[in-house]
Amino acid sequence: MSFINYSSREINCKLVYYGPGLGGKTTNLQFIYARTSPEAKGKMISLATETERTLFFDFLPLSLGEIRGFKTRFHLYTVPGQVFYDASRKLILKGVDGVVFVADSQNERMEANIESLENLRLNLTEQGYNLDKLPYIIQYNKRDLPNAAPLDELRQLLNPAHATEFEACATTGVGVFETLKAIAKSVLTELRRGGGGGG
C-alpha cells in the first residue's frame, strides 16, 4: 500500500516484479541499479541462495524525482520464481501498488509462464486484489534468444486482456527502463485517481 508522509513530503509506492524462475526479474533490478545515479538509489539487497537464486526477495529503493514538492520513492521487489517458494511470494505481494510480470520468451518456458501468471492472479486474489484492476505491465524478456516464441503467441497466451506490454532483453537493458517508467506512471495515475485493485 502506498504511504504518503505529509511531514517529510514523500510518496512511497511498492512495485513487485513477478514471473517464472530464471525469467530475469533480478536482472531487471540489477540493470536499473547499475544505470541509476547514486543519489537516486539506495542499496540493492538480494536475499539469495548460494547459487544466486532468489530465496526471499530482492529489494531496490529508487527516487524518481518530485511531484508538487513531494519526493516520489519507489520500492522495487522481486519474488522468488521457483514454484515451491509460494509462501514467500504471497508475503511480498502484501501492500503492492503495481506489478510487472516478467515473462520468459523461450518456447520451453511457456508452461512456466502460464503457471506463474495463474499463480500471480490467485495470490493477488487471496490478498484482496484484482489483477485486472491493479497497475500492471507485462514484459516479454529474452527476446534476443534464438528460441524465443513469436510475440503474437506470447500475447495470446499471456496477455489476453491487452495490458501494456514491452519486449525486453534485461541483460543488455533493452525495455528495462521503459517497463519501469510505465509501471511507475500507472501507479501514480491510479493513486491520483484514488482507486486500487482491491485490498
Partner 1 sequence: MSGPDVMFPEEQKLIASVCQRLHRDSNAKAVLLIGRDGQPIAEAGEVGEIDVTSLSSLTAGNVAATGGISKILREKDFTSQFHEGEKTHVHITLVAGRAILVVLFDERSSLGLVRLRVRKATEEMARIFEQVTRKAASQTGPSILNEITDADIDKLFND
Site residues for partner 1 per CB under 8 A: 1-8, 11-12, 14, 42-43, 45, 47, 56-57, 59, 61, 64-68, 70, 72-73, 75, 87-88, 90-92, 94-95, 181, 184-185, 188-189, 191-192, 194-199
Cβ distance to partner 1 smaller for residue 53 or 185? 185
- Please identify, using beta-carbon distances, which residue of 173 and 199 lies nearer to partner 1: 199
Which C-beta is closer to partner 1: that of 94 or that of 147? Answer: 94
Count of residues making up the chain: 199
Q: Give whole-number Cα distances, 109 to 26, 134, 181, in Å.
A: 17, 25, 26
Give min distance, CB of 104 to partner 1, in A: 25
- Minimum Å gap between C-beta 153 and partner 1 is 31
In whole angstroms, the minimum distance from the beta carbon of 113 to partner 1 comes to 26
- The residue (of 129 and 142) whose beta carbon lies closer to partner 1 is 129
Contact criterion met (CB below 8 Å) for 101 and 117: yes
Contacts of 70 (CB under 8 A, 6+ apart): 4, 9, 10, 11
Question: Residue 66 or 118: which CB sits closer to partner 1?
Answer: 66
Angle between helices 25-34 and 176-193 (to 10 degrees): 90
Nearest approach, Cβ of residue 23 and partner 1 (Å): 21
| Closest residue by Cα to residue 76 from 89, 88, 58 | 58
CB of residue 152 vs partner 1: minimum separation in angstroms?
A: 29
How many C-beta neighbours within 10 Å does residue 108 have? 9
- Smallest distance from partner 1 to CB 147, Å: 33
Identify which of 20, 2, 125, 132 has the alpha carbon closest to the alpha carbon of residue 67: 2
Q: Are 134 and 99 in contact (CB under 8 A)?
A: yes
**Cβ distance to partner 1 smaller for residue 2 or 105:** 2
Tell me the C-alpha distance between 122 and 160, whole Å: 17
